[in-house]
Amino acid sequence: MTIKIFKNISLALYTTFQIGGRAKYFFIAKTIEQLMEAVSRSKQNKIKYFILGGGSNLLISDRGFSGLVIKLDIRGYKLRESRLIAGAGLSLSRLVQLAGKNNLTGLEWAVGIPGTIGGAIRGNAGAFGQAIGQIVDKVIILNPRGVVKRWSAAKCRFTYRDSIFKSNKKLIILEVEFRFKRGRGTSVRQQMKEFLRQRRHQPKQPSAGCVFKNPAIASRQRLNLIAQYPDLANKINPKGLIPAAWLIDQCGLRGRKSGDAKISLEHANFIVNSGRAQAKDVKKLIALIKKMVYNKFNIKLQEEIEIV
């Protein structure tokens, strides 16, 4: 198979942050066969590779990537009653649209979230107390030996904003089989409208989404915080996670800038690109947030975005 690999491509063009240096080599894989060929060629030439999805939840270094960036663009899908099989490169928004159109319920919360299915699976994307791993039945992957495998959801080890694919980057998601429940079309669409309404307060400027995971802390520390800040009781989710945005807010960091990177005024857990921000600017704000939250609350924030 002959594939055309490009050189010296700006990665800022392929991320929602609109930040990032250049890839030494760049290839867009539209089929599983093309992906396998690109990975194989990379290994043969001893060149490191990075799999790029929709570019959300991602901060790429100003130095770029010195190996091969493979953009996964496998977008095919098949609908079988209440099951939907989709390529990892299909956008999450398109999946939400397909589910709603076919009266399938379970993904309404994802309306308005950018990125691809592969990226959503990798980070077990979620919102409003739900996560995509809850509706996954099977994941088709390419393992490090170049063999295609069909994995159950249990094998993917989905946890809060995490999966086996985050710790083992040599596992490449190819396709995902979702299991939905049948719903009433009007009810599904109404829920989507409501979730979309709640997202109106998120910033419109380029960003990578929420920068930090919502931390889980010991019950005693949580009770002590609620005693100090009674309004926090209504903000903690059912799993006991404290909103990272609330912690950042309490440190008075909204609007803080480094270069053209800024902690959003609309949502404190977003860092936005207000012009020509660089990765180094974003990293400075990340370090500042982590330091101030730890000093004030003795809580260590963990990044939700991937830094490359």
- For residue 2 the two structure tokens come to 């002959």
Predicted pLDDT at 98: 93
Instruction: For 6-72, give the CATH class.
Output: alpha beta
Residue in the block written with tokens 């080599």: 25
The beta strands (E) that lie in 19-76 are given as 22-29, 49-52, 58-59, 65-72
pLDDT at 124: 95
Specify the long-range contacts of residues 292-296, CB closer than 8 Å, at least 24 apart. Answer: 292/251, 292/253, 293/244, 293/247, 293/248, 293/251, 296/247, 296/250, 296/251
pLDDT the model gives residue 239: 78
Q: Do domains 6-72 and 204-307 have the same CATH topology?
A: no
In a structure prediction context, what are the per-residue pLDDT tens digits for the chain, which is 308 residues long? 678 899 999 999 999 999 999 999 999 999 999 999 999 999 999 999 999 999 999 999 999 999 999 999 999 999 988 999 999 999 999 999 999 889 999 999 999 888 999 999 999 999 888 999 999 999 999 999 999 999 999 999 999 999 999 989 899 999 999 999 988 767 888 888 888 888 777 888 999 999 999 999 888 998 999 999 999 988 888 778 999 999 999 999 999 999 999 999 999 999 999 999 999 999 999 999 999 999 999 999 999 999 99
CA distance 99 to 105: 7
In the chain, what is the straight-line distance between the N-terminal and C-terminal CA atoms, in Å? 29
Phi, psi of 248 (to 5 degrees): -65, -40
Please tell me the total number of residues recorded for the chain in this structure: 308
| pLDDT for the residue 78 | 95
Task: Please tell me the predicted confidence (pLDDT) of residue 1.
Answer: 67
The span from the CA of 235 to the CA of 219, in Å, is 15
The CATH fold assigned to 77-187 is 3.30.465
Which among 93, 97, 132, 136 is positioned nearest to 115, based on CA atoms?
93
What does the buried/exposed string (b/e) look like for 125-153 if buried means 16 or more CB atoms within 10 Å of the residue's CB? bbbeebbbbebbebbbbbeeeeeeeebeb
Domain 204-307: CATH architecture, name and number where available: Alpha-Beta Complex (3.90)
* Residue 168: Cβ within 10 Å count: 12
Nearest CA to 111 out of 217, 186, 197, 240 is that of 197
- Residue spans of the domains in the chain: they are 6-72, 77-187, 204-307
pLDDT score at 201: 75
- Do 128 and 194 meet the contact criterion of CB atoms below 8 Å apart? no
